[in-house]
Structure 1
Amino acid sequence: MTAPQPRPAPPVADATTLRLGYGTNGFANHRLDDALAVLADLGYDGVALTLDHDHLDPFAPGLTRRIAAVGRRLSALGLGVVIETGARYLLDPWHKHAPTLLHDDPTRRIEFLRRAVRIGADLGAEAVSFWAGVRPETVSPQCAWDRLVAGCATVVDAADSAGVTLGFEPEPGMLVQDITDWRRLRAALGAPARFGITLDIGHCRCLEPWPVPQCVAEVAEHLVNVQIDDMRRGVHEHLEFGTGEIDFPPVLAALAQAGYRGLVAVELPRDSHAAPAVAARSIEFLRAAAIAGRTEDEVPADIPGVPA
């Protein structure tokens, strides 16, 4: 089938040109068609589509037909898309996120990621995002690392064959939890061209050693997917904007000045009970923050990698 192509990104001239998206894991109580319509009506530019039981289940029958239907829907609504793979119980009804690439038998996870790559290719997704997982207590750190590198290499091969860009996400508490860990993994894989980074802005505040705008600059060259939410230092809890500790105008200005052209997708997976209202508040907040971020003094001149 002919893959629908994502809507072209507008030129990046200032902070207001950032393309805003919303994660469908924050619309878990909506049918996917309805969630996409709500987000388009609110003015979002795209979606971060988490493959899950009710949102394009990659293991349910009729996958090719369902991919085509979602592609038509995205195209009709003018929405770009990235593919997310953080479904909690899709692979194992008893154990959250299991199996990961670190488990004794990662077969089902690898098949899931291969299918995600296929779906990403068919939908013209801007990136397919995935992560390491938490190291099982029975698995040694070295064994877990070796398994991760081997599993990622398999996914990279699939992405290369499909022409899909991968965004690997550092996740607090997982084997790869920060930018330094991501760099180590990328090096172990031989620095593949399609192996980029998914940067969660909240995670930067949670545990990275740098100010959040500097985190953007540190990975600007490899940034292929951005998730955005508020957070507090040392607490991995995705919060609505304005309820955490992040100063967002400098962050959005840093993204724009770094030339990032992908989606900046709101990541609030525990707010599905009030999804339309939360999504409406979120886009209003981010638009205001983007305008505020245009002032010259919002992004410090000494942040490495951010053009003056």
Structure 2
Amino acid sequence: MSLRFGYGTNGLTDLRLDDALGLLADLGYEGVGLTLDHMHLDPMAPDLAARTRRVSRRLDQLGLTATVETGARYVLDPRSKHGPSLLDPDPDRRAARVRLLTRAVRVAADLGAHAVHCFSGIKPADTPDDTAWKRLAEAIAPVVEAAEGAGTPLAIEPEPGHLLSCIADFHRLRTDLGAPAALGLTLDIGHCQCLEPAPPAACVRDAAPWLRHVQIEDMRRGVHEHLPFGAGEIDFPPVLEALAATGYQGLTVVELPRHSHAGPQLAEQSIEFLRRAENAVRAAAEGGRP
């Protein structure tokens, strides 16, 4: 097994970023899913470049790598969760999201991050499907172009309730854009359990050629609630075995954005759980017992 585990800073929002990174390094994580937000690396800060250089030095000191995530709830609009999105009816508001994502691409390049994560957003009411898909393709195209220029893949995440909500939707967008190499997939293992027709391990195998980022947590079928490991329904050793078999080299990031109140404890418990699951895979491969 050669998986590289990280933990998302959106689950450590009660910690200063330096403290969060130090914690993860001490616990044995190899990287971090760094959500650009006001409490950590604020993408709207006028001195963003200088702040990014400081974070880059800190990551190097700690031996951590990063994925840049863009799922902050209110970073653009203090009154609208995840707003504005790439699907907003107002072209100026869509442009604000595009600017944020292109800024995230620059941050990722400066950090040496292996991908930039994003998602489509929820389809606005009274918007026809064809209009929404056209709007998404047109809005995300310049971000894909920026990612290609920076040499940093853009990894869009199928999100329950969003226009792009499943792996099949990713392929629709990819086809609409002409299959650009810079556009890849963020696969959330919990989301696979929540709504994909295939089991999570099968989703990993199906998505393997386009995997650029992986998020992981427990979840129940039909319920979009990110849960600590063991609190949901997922059998994790087959998932980790499938991930390792793909040759995926990016981070597999624990995603518990609603558990910051217990972030340090859950970060420790999560890495222990994942290591035990890895050991179970190894033991099964060797004909022994976990």
How would you bin the TM-score normalised by the shorter chain? over 0.9
Correspondence 1:19 to 2:4: yes
Correspondence 1:259 to 2:247: yes
User: For residue 190 of structure 1, what is the aligned residue in structure 2?
Assistant: 178
User: For residue 39 of structure 2, what is the aligned residue in structure 1?
Assistant: 54
Shift of the 206–46 alpha-carbon distance from structure 1 to 2, 3 Å rule, reads same
The CA deviation at 1:69 is 0.2
The CA deviation at 1:107 is 1.4
What is the one-letter code of the residue matched to 1:50? T
Correspondence 1:249 to 2:225: no
| Maintained 8 Å contact 2:6/2:33 | yes
User: For residue 280 of structure 2, what is the aligned residue in structure 1?
Assistant: 292
What is the one-letter code of the residue matched to 1:43? G
What is the one-letter code of the residue matched to 1:114? T
User: For residue 133 of structure 2, what is the aligned residue in structure 1?
Assistant: 145
Alpha-carbon distance between aligned partners in 2 of 1:185 and 1:293, rounded to the nearest angstrom: 35
Which runs of 5 or more structure 1 residues have no equivalent in the other structure? 1-13, 299-308
User: For residue 28 of structure 1, what is the aligned residue in structure 2?
Assistant: 13
Alpha-carbon distance between aligned partners in 2 of 1:91 and 1:181, rounded to the nearest angstrom: 25
Alpha-carbon distance between aligned partners in 2 of 1:215 and 1:179, rounded to the nearest angstrom: 8
Q: Deviations over 1:123-147 (max 9, x none)?
A: 1110001000001114222211111
Q: Deviations over 1:250-275 (max 9, x none)?
A: 10011001111111100000010011
User: For residue 180 of structure 1, what is the aligned residue in structure 2?
Assistant: 168
Q: Deviations over 1:173-231 (max 9, x none)?
A: 00000000001111111111111100000000000011111100001111110000000
User: For residue 76 of structure 1, what is the aligned residue in structure 2?
Assistant: 61
Alpha-carbon distance between aligned partners in 2 of 1:262 and 1:221, rounded to the nearest angstrom: 13
Alpha-carbon distance between aligned partners in 1 of 2:126 and 2:53, rounded to the nearest angstrom: 42
Alpha-carbon distance between aligned partners in 1 of 2:176 and 2:139, rounded to the nearest angstrom: 12
Alpha-carbon distance between aligned partners in 2 of 1:66 and 1:259, rounded to the nearest angstrom: 33
Alpha-carbon distance between aligned partners in 1 of 2:54 and 2:67, rounded to the nearest angstrom: 16
Alpha-carbon distance between aligned partners in 2 of 1:170 and 1:74, rounded to the nearest angstrom: 28
Shift of the 212–64 alpha-carbon distance from structure 1 to 2, 3 Å rule, reads same
Alpha-carbon distance between aligned partners in 1 of 2:32 and 2:216, rounded to the nearest angstrom: 12
TM-score by length of 2: 0.96
2:52 to 44, 59, 67: 67
What is the one-letter code of the residue matched to 2:14? N
* Number of equivalent positions: 283
SS in 1 for 2:87: coil
Alpha-carbon distance between aligned partners in 2 of 1:206 and 1:196, rounded to the nearest angstrom: 21
Question: By percentage of residues, which structure has more helix?
Answer: 2
Alpha-carbon distance between aligned partners in 2 of 1:144 and 1:191, rounded to the nearest angstrom: 19
User: For residue 104 of structure 2, what is the aligned residue in structure 1?
Assistant: 116
SS in 2 for 1:219: helix
The CA deviation at 1:297 is 10
What is the one-letter code of the residue matched to 1:169? E
Q: Which moved more, 1:133-142 or 1:101-110?
A: 133-142
TM-score by length of 1: 0.90
Root mean square deviation of aligned Cα: 1.2
SS in 2 for 1:82: strand
Alpha-carbon distance between aligned partners in 1 of 2:150 and 2:247, rounded to the nearest angstrom: 25
What is the one-letter code of the residue matched to 2:122? V
Alpha-carbon distance between aligned partners in 2 of 1:58 and 1:257, rounded to the nearest angstrom: 35
Which runs of 5 or more structure 2 residues have no equivalent in the other structure? none
Identity %: 59
The CA deviation at 1:296 is 3.8
The CA deviation at 1:54 is 1.2
User: For residue 158 of structure 2, what is the aligned residue in structure 1?
Assistant: 170
Alpha-carbon distance between aligned partners in 2 of 1:161 and 1:260, rounded to the nearest angstrom: 22
Q: Which moved more, 1:235-244 or 1:253-262?
A: 253-262
| Maintained 8 Å contact 2:89/2:124 | no
